[in-house]
């Protein structure tokens, strides 16, 4: 029995012991607790320490850690955003950048001349400066209720920003947070597949031909990531699809 199978056994036993947890929460999510994600020191490529602190605080409010499991901060979403900003997307690699630039209507979408890199850099500085003025400290040092107030103000367009419209920045941040929470862990977020476990998504798909007509039967698979496959941690079928390990629920 290899390491991964052993840990599956452990999870299975654990699941049996918490079998009464309730049907609403996917089984894999029940196997994780808020703090149970190994934290490693990340090598940030774009974000400055103050920006890391801001994002750690902000994403922890957008997707908080709670009794359902880890949140965006624990999932490594800040690091995910760093990597995305440093890569092609952050520099608008596949986006049209030529001017002239005007803000246009909401229906016309992204019209800022700033790249996502520049949007984050400018907006975080502005939010922190405004928090310092109003509360005497930066966003990450505020009480969570105050942080929520700031985020709501951005979301509702009430928080004055100069570089970009407040909702433009907030939507980018929320979109990236969701991406970082649910994308393949190969991008640095969704650490230990916490996002997938939360919702019961198996990640890289198996061949489901034999399952698709098992109507209403939960499919509680241990999620498989691209990295798992690249590292040989998942058994594969002849087409390269992982053979999912199903968690057996006795409830």
Partner 1 sequence: MPTKLKPVDAVVVGVGLSGTILAKELAEAGLHVVGLERGRWRDTDPDFAMPHAHDELRYVKRHELMQDLSRETITFRNNAAETALPMRQLGSFRPGEGVGGAAVHWGGLTWRFLPWDFETRSRTLARYGSEHWPAECTSQDWGVTYDELEPHFDRFEYLYGISGKAGNVKGKIIPGGNPFEGPRSRDYPNPPLKTSYAGALFKDAAQKMGYHPFPTPSAALSQPYTNEYGATINGCVYCGYCQFFGCEMGAKASPQTAVLPNLMKQSRFELRTHANVVKVNLDSAKKRAVSVTYIDSRGREFEQPADLVLLTSYVFNNVRLMLVSGIGKPYDPVANTGVVGRNYAYQTPSGVTLFFEDKVFNQFMAAGGLGMTIDEFNGDNFDHAGLGFIGGGFFQAATSGSRPIEVRPVPRGTPRWGAEWKRAVAKYFNRSFGIAIQGACQSYRGNHLDLDPSYRDSYGLPLLRMTFDRRENEHKMSVWLTNKAAEIAKAIGPSKMNVTPRTEKYTIVPYQSTHNTGGAAMGADPATSAVNKYLQSWDVPNVFVVGASAFPQNGGYNPTGTVGALTFHALAAIKTRYLKRPGLLA
Q: Shortest distance, CB of residue 233 to partner 1, whole angstroms? A: 11
Stretch that binds partner 1, among 7-15, 66-74, 117-125, 126-134 (CB under 8 A): 66-74
Residues 108-167 binding partner 1 (CB under 8 A) are 108-111, 148, 151, 155
Give the interface size with partner 1 as a residue count (CB under 8 A): 73
Do residues 127 and 121 make contact, with C-beta atoms less than 8 angstroms apart? Answer: no
Q: Which residue among 125, 130, 219, 246 contacts partner 1 (CB under 8 A)?
A: 219
Do residues 205 and 211 make contact, with C-beta atoms less than 8 angstroms apart? Answer: no
Q: Does 49 interact with partner 1 (rule: CB under 8 A)?
A: no
Question: Is 9 or 251 the residue whose CB approaches partner 1 more closely?
Answer: 251
Give the separation between CA 166 and CA 158, rounded to whole angstroms.
7
Question: Is 23 or 48 the residue whose CB approaches partner 1 more closely?
Answer: 23
Give the separation between CA 16 and CA 248, rounded to whole angstroms.
8
Phi, psi of 173 (to 5 degrees): -65, -45
Q: Shortest distance, CB of residue 237 to partner 1, whole angstroms? A: 9
Q: Does 200 interact with partner 1 (rule: CB under 8 A)?
A: yes
Question: Is 109 or 136 the residue whose CB approaches partner 1 more closely?
Answer: 109
Question: Is 115 or 138 the residue whose CB approaches partner 1 more closely?
Answer: 115
Burial per residue of 1-33, b for 16 or more beta-carbon CB atoms within 10 angstroms, e otherwise = eeeeeeebeebbeebeeeeeeeeebbbbbbbbe
Give the separation between CA 103 and CA 41, rounded to whole angstroms.
39
Q: Does 174 interact with partner 1 (rule: CB under 8 A)?
A: yes
Q: Which of 76, 247, 95 is nearest to 176 (CA)?
A: 76
Q: Shortest distance, CB of residue 127 to partner 1, whole angstroms? A: 16
Residues 8-27 binding partner 1 (CB under 8 A) are 23-26
Q: Does 29 interact with partner 1 (rule: CB under 8 A)?
A: yes
Q: Does 185 interact with partner 1 (rule: CB under 8 A)?
A: no
Q: Which residue among 71, 76, 90, 166 contacts partner 1 (CB under 8 A)?
A: 71
Give the separation between CA 141 and CA 128, rounded to whole angstroms.
10
Q: Does 75 interact with partner 1 (rule: CB under 8 A)?
A: no
CA 177 to chain CA mean position, Å: 5
Q: Does 106 interact with partner 1 (rule: CB under 8 A)?
A: yes
Give CB contacts under 8 A, 24+ apart, made by 198-202.
198/26, 198/29, 198/68, 198/69, 199/26, 199/29, 200/26, 200/27, 200/28, 200/29, 202/244
Q: Shortest distance, CB of residue 136 to partner 1, whole angstroms? A: 25
Question: Is 128 or 177 the residue whose CB approaches partner 1 more closely?
Answer: 177
């Amino acid at each position: 029995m290899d390491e991964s199978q052993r840990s599956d056994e452990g999870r299975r036993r654990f699941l049996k012991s918490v079998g009464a947890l309730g049907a609403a929460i996917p089984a894999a999510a029940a196997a994780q607790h808020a703090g149970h994600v190994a934290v490693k020191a990340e090598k940030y490529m774009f974000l400055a320490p103050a920006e890391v602190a801001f994002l750690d605080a902000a994403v922890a409010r957008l997707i908080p850690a709670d009794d359902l499991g880890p949140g965006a901060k624990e999932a490594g979403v800040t690091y995910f955003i760093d990597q995305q900003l440093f890569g092609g997307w952050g520099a608008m690699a596949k986006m049209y950048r030529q001017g002239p630039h005007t803000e246009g209507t909401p229906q016309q979408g992204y019209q800022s001349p700033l790249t996502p890199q520049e949007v984050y850099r400018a907006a975080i500085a502005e939010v922190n400066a405004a928090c310092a003025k109003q509360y005497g400290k930066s966003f990450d040092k505020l009480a969570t209720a105050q942080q929520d107030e700031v985020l709501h103000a951005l979301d509702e367009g009430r928080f004055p920003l100069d570089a970009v419209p407040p909702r433009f920045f907030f939507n980018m941040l929320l979109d990236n947070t969701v991406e970082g929470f649910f994308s393949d862990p190969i991008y640095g977020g969704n650490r230990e597949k916490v996002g997938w476990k939360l919702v019961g998504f198996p990640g890289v798909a198996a061949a489901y031909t034999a399952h698709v007509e098992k109507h209403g039967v939960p499919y509680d698979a241990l999620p498989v990531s691209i990295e798992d496959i690249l590292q040989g941690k998942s058994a594969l079928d002849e087409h390269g699809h992982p053979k999912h390990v199903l968690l057996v629920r006795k409830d």
